[in-house]
Amino acid sequence: MTDYKNRAVVLKQRPQGEIQEGDLVLEERTVRSPNEGEVVAQVLWLSLDPYMRPRMNDAKGYMDPIGIDEPIVGESVARVVESRSDKLKVGDLVTCYSGWQEYVTFPADAPMVYKIQQRDNVPLQAYLGVAGMPGRTGYCGLMYVGKPKAGETVVVSAASGPVGTVVGQTAKSEGCRVVGVAGGPEKCNFVVNELGFDACVDYKAGNLDADLKAACPDGIDIYFENVGGAVTRAVAPLLNPGARVPICGYVSAYNATDMASVETPFHVLKALDPVPEHRFFLVTEWQEQHQEITDILASRVASGALKYRETVAEGLENAVEAFKGMLKGRNFGKQLVHVAD
C-alpha cells in the first residue's frame, strides 16, 4: 500500500453557540490499509451542509452526535485509489460519507456509497448539490410531503441554496406559483431572473411580513421550511386551509447555545388554528429511490433545465471558515470544498 498523506478536520471540543477557535482542528491522520472487500478513496469534493452543526452538540437528535476526536461528518465525491473488492475498481468515482478528510477507507458495499454514472454537462460536484443529497431532499420533500398541485402557491426559504433551488424549479415545473425567501438583492434577483421563481422576498430588507403578504395575495398552500425563526412567523398567518409544510430544517437556530429553548417551526405551526399539516422529514425515507431521483435531477442539470449556483472553498484547510460563513448565509448557492483534482 502507498502511504497517503491524510489530513482531517476533527471535533476537539463541542462548540458553545458559534464555532470558535479550537473547536474544529485540522490534523494529520493515518489511512488504514484496506481489508478484503474494502477500498481506499481520495476525496475530491466535500459537501458542507447545515445538518453538520447540530451533530457537533452532545445531544441525541435524529442522528448520533460526532464523537470527540472524530472527523466531522460529511458527504464527498471521491475516487477509488486502492481496491480489494470486485464491486469497485481503482479509478471509480463514488459519493460516500467520508467525513472532512482527504482519504478514507471503507467497505465497497457500505450503505450510502454510490458509484457515479458520469454524464456530459454534469460537473462532479453537482452530485453533492442539486443532483445530490440536497437536491433529492428538496425534490422528495416537495413532491412526497408537499404534494404540489398546479395553481397552488409554494413558498420556500433559503431559496438560492441547493435545496431551495430544486424545490422552486420543481414546483414551477408542476405548474405552481413560486415565491422564494432569500437574503439580499443579489440572491433575490438570481432566484427570480435565473431560476424563474415568480417572486422573491428579501428577509434582510426589514419588511418581511408586509413583503411576503404582498408576494402571496392568495395565501400560501405549501411552505418548504429551511430556516425557521422570523420567516416561519411571517409565513404562518398566510397559510391557507389545507396547507402543507414539509420541514427540512431550521438553520437560523443551529448556532443557539441552548437548542432546548429555541422556538422551532413546530411551536409556531402548532399554535395555529387550524394546525396545518406539517412534519419533519429525512431524505433517507426515500433511499430506495436514490438512483431514480438522482437520474431525474442530473438529467435536468445536463439539459440546462435545472439551474444553480455554488460557492467553492479551496483546500480542506479552508473548510471551517467556509462552514461558519454558510451558517450565516454568506455563501451563494451550494457550499463546497475542492480538496483534490
Q: Tell me which residue of 14, 266, 302 sits closest to 131, measured CA to CA.
A: 302
* Rounded distance between C-alpha atoms, residue 83 and residue 339, angstroms: 21
Please tell me the predicted confidence (pLDDT) of residue 1.
55
Which residue is associated with the grid cell 464555532?
A: 19
Query: For the chain (length 341 residues), average pLDDT per consecutive 10?
Result: 85 94 95 96 96 87 86 97 97 97 96 92 96 96 98 97 96 98 96 98 96 98 94 96 94 67 86 93 94 96 96 97 92 95 93
* Rounded distance between C-alpha atoms, residue 116 and residue 127, angstroms: 8
* Rounded distance between C-alpha atoms, residue 36 and residue 188, angstroms: 51
Domains and CATH numbers, the chain: 6-129+308-338 (3.90.180.10), 133-284 (3.40.50.720)
Please tell me the predicted confidence (pLDDT) of residue 164.
96
3-state secondary structure of 178: strand
* Rounded distance between C-alpha atoms, residue 284 and residue 264, angstroms: 22
Please tell me the predicted confidence (pLDDT) of residue 141.
97
C-alpha angle 97-48-145 in degrees, rounded to nearest 5: 80
Beta strand ranges found along the chain (DSSP E): 6-11, 24-29, 38-47, 76-83, 93-96, 103-107, 114-115, 153-157, 177-182, 199-202, 220-224, 239-247, 277-280, 310-314, 334-338
Please tell me the predicted confidence (pLDDT) of residue 232.
95
